[in-house]
Amino acid sequence: MIFHRHLRKAIKLQGERSSTLDLARGRLVLISGFFFAVYMVLLLRSLDLTLIQGRGVDTDTSISYAYSEPVGDNNVRADIVDRNNVLLATTLQTASLSVRPSLISDPLRAAKGLVEIFSDLTYGDVLQKLQSEKNFVRIKRNVLPGEQFDVLGLGEPGLIFEYEDRRVYPQGGLFSHLVGYTNIDTLGQSGIERSFNGLLAKGKETLTLTLDVRLQHIMHREIARVMDEFNALAGFGVIMDVRSGEVLAGVSLPDFDPHNPGKANDMQLFNRLTLGAYEFGSVFKIFSTAALFETLNVPMSTSFDVSEPIKVGRFTIRDYRAKNMVMTVPEVFMYSSNIGSAMIGRAVGGHALKDFYSDLGLLTKLDFEIKEMAKPKVPNPWNDVSTLTVSYGHGLSTTSMQLVSAVSSIVNGGYLVKPKLILDNSKQLMENSKNNQYVQVVSEQTAHRMRQLLRLAVTDGTGKNADVSGYRVGGKTGTAEKVGAHGYDRKRLMSSFVGVFPVDSPRYAVFVAIDEPKGHKGSFGYATAGWTAAPAVSRVIMSMATILGIKPQILTVDQDLGSSLKHYISSKEK
């Protein structure tokens, strides 16, 4: 009871002062609640920072870069690949070593260590750089990962690594002229690297070329072999698809390492395929003979008296191996008679011949995907002597690319093809042929006659060494004397051979030229095209056939394309 009374008193007491007390208590609760909340937030935040976000501080990637994307690989220079997607040029990141001399603690020790790691650095040079007054000095580019590890092991805070792009050519010097090279800032300096610099620098898409690394290797190997055998100055060659003008291989020797173009000499840097304009000699008889058929439409039996050398002014045209007789067109072609060809040129006429050469693109600078392109040297003025000499390929120098595309344009059925290096998969080729986009430079008939003549020159003429059983090679030799200080030099030759196969329905043109070959015992002292370039073309075709899986077709002598011309060849040679 007593307890009850007390309680009632207390309640009564509370009841009297309730409003003031409640107010004070409410404020107290509010303030302490506020502080409680603030401290809770601080506590949680500190927990967050230390325990949750602090996990794995040892790995640098754990730092949160909210909203920041890692640097993409979009700005890396694009790759160049061949037609089968084999890598020809790519960009890799390499480290380069630099130094902040002010941060170097022990220059002597650091220099000693660096010289031990990099054998190509010299102690004095490095020491000088380490003690330099400059803020920042580069010591070495392209440091390998293993070397980088060793440098980090030196423990010098002043040695800094920077990462930069470097152009790498996995095929080495194989494509040094066509693909080209870049400078250390990965800017294209020659070849495709130069002419497509803008596109490659954007780095969006891989550039696919028409080249085939296997065929390129074959060409390289065979030219190197002939150069070695005949102790030649240089050699170059092209494989072209005669239907599309796609360049499947293009070699110019001597070549160089595109990783280190600075060490190459001018001889190596010179791209003979595009920058070299040469007089190719008898190979041009293909064009003058085609001009004869095309402009005058004469029969095969048309004959020329080649028994006497032609004299025009102070100029005398002689044959390499004189055959004192009256020759038909097939004979002129297969024996490669200069007199006969000059007569063919005269028959066609200077104007018509010049127009014909011009249609084939032999007189103007070739429009090609490689910028380094020589202008052909055209006789100016084009007089009567020029007409005679250009008929057998003298007095007019062209690039080999022009020559091969002109030959392709004749044998493929007569439509003009342009050499190209960038692979076009858009089926434009077929569309163009449908829409008659092609320019017909010679008629189908002339094309057929030329194929016959080319075959004859291989089966019975100067190009016998170029034949490959089952693959019906047609072609023409060309042995030109190079121009020396005093006119043509008999000892300095440019021996070339252009072959097409299979000749009845040509698919590939193979061209090889050897600059200044020297005859040896095995070739009986000869260094002419039949002994140098023709066997090389033959070997290239043999390897091509097995690699590309082209089936042979053995024909009897009568089935052969050149056989129908046999009766134009007189059996008696004086």
CB of 508 to other proteins, least distance (A): 14
CB of 345 to other proteins, least distance (A): 38
What is the Cα–Cα distance from 293 to 288, expressed in whole angstroms?
9
Strand, helix or coil for residue 249: strand
Query: Is 132 a residue that touches other proteins (CB under 8 A)?
Result: no
Query: Is 430 a residue that touches other proteins (CB under 8 A)?
Result: no
- Residue type for position 505: S
Strand, helix or coil for residue 316: strand
Strand, helix or coil for residue 190: coil
CB contact set of 355 (below 8 Å; sequence gap of 6+): none
Query: Is 482 a residue that touches other proteins (CB under 8 A)?
Result: no
Q: Which is nearer to other proteins, 527 or 541 (CB)?
A: 541
CB of 168 to other proteins, least distance (A): 5
How many CA atoms, within 13 angstroms, populate the side-chain half-sphere of residue 358? 9
Report the site for other proteins in 218-257 (rule: CB under 8 A): 220-221
Q: Which is nearer to other proteins, 11 or 37 (CB)?
A: 37
CB of 368 to other proteins, least distance (A): 25
Report the site for other proteins in 69-88 (rule: CB under 8 A): 69-73, 86-88
Q: Given the rule CB under 8 A, which of 131-139, 166-174, 238-246, 445-453 is the region that contacts other proteins?
A: 166-174
Query: Is 423 a residue that touches other proteins (CB under 8 A)?
Result: no
Query: Is 93 a residue that touches other proteins (CB under 8 A)?
Result: yes
CB of 333 to other proteins, least distance (A): 26
Query: Is 213 a residue that touches other proteins (CB under 8 A)?
Result: yes
Query: Is 505 a residue that touches other proteins (CB under 8 A)?
Result: no
Q: Which is nearer to other proteins, 88 or 512 (CB)?
A: 88
What is the Cα–Cα distance from 306 to 279, expressed in whole angstroms?
23
Q: Given the rule CB under 8 A, which of 183-191, 293-301, 392-400, 468-476 is the region that contacts other proteins?
A: 468-476
> Between the CA of residue 170 and those of 45, 86, 202, 263, what are the distances in Å?
54, 10, 21, 18
Q: Which is nearer to other proteins, 25 or 375 (CB)?
A: 25
Query: Is 13 a residue that touches other proteins (CB under 8 A)?
Result: no
In Å, the largest CA–CA distance within the chain is 162
| Per-residue interface string for the shown chain with other proteins, residues 39-68, x marking contact by CB under 8 A | -xx--x---x---xx-------xx-xxxxx
Query: Is 469 a residue that touches other proteins (CB under 8 A)?
Result: yes
Instruction: Summarize the chain as % helix, strand, coil (round to 5).
Output: 40, 20, 40
CB of 29 to other proteins, least distance (A): 7
Judged by CB under 8 A, which of 92, 144, 267, 298 binds other proteins?
92
Query: Is 172 a residue that touches other proteins (CB under 8 A)?
Result: yes
Query: Is 146 a residue that touches other proteins (CB under 8 A)?
Result: no
Report the site for other proteins in 360-419 (rule: CB under 8 A): none
CB of 404 to other proteins, least distance (A): 22
Strands 80-81 and 310-312: unpaired
Whether 370 and 178 have beta carbons less than 8 Å apart is answered as: yes
Whether 504 and 471 have beta carbons less than 8 Å apart is answered as: no
Whether 263 and 325 have beta carbons less than 8 Å apart is answered as: no
Is 17 buried (19+), middle (13-18) or exposed (0-12) by CB count in 10 A? exposed
Query: Is 214 a residue that touches other proteins (CB under 8 A)?
Result: yes
Handedness of CA 198, 165, 70, 137 (dihedral sign): negative
Q: How far is CA 1 from the centre of its chain?
A: 114
Q: Which is nearer to other proteins, 440 or 543 (CB)?
A: 543
Strands 508-515 and 487-501: antiparallel
CA dihedral 453, 458, 460, 462 (to 10 degrees): 100
Judged by CB under 8 A, which of 7, 11, 22, 54 binds other proteins?
22
Strand, helix or coil for residue 175: helix
Query: Is 217 a residue that touches other proteins (CB under 8 A)?
Result: yes
- Tell whether omega for the bond before 381 is within 30 degrees of 0, i.e. cis: yes
Q: Given the rule CB under 8 A, which of 35-43, 369-377, 435-443, 473-481 is the region that contacts other proteins?
A: 35-43
Structure tokens at 239: 């494989």
Judged by CB under 8 A, which of 546, 557, 558, 574 binds other proteins?
546
Structure tokens at 335: 């024996």
Whether 332 and 571 have beta carbons less than 8 Å apart is answered as: no
Q: Which is nearer to other proteins, 237 or 413 (CB)?
A: 237
Whether 261 and 169 have beta carbons less than 8 Å apart is answered as: no
Q: Given the rule CB under 8 A, which of 216-224, 383-391, 440-448, 502-510 is the region that contacts other proteins?
A: 216-224
Q: Which residues bind other proteins (CB under 8 A)?
A: 22, 26, 29, 33, 37, 40-41, 44, 48, 52-53, 61-62, 64-73, 86-88, 90, 92-93, 168, 170-172, 174, 213-214, 217, 220-221, 468-471, 542-543, 545-546, 549-554
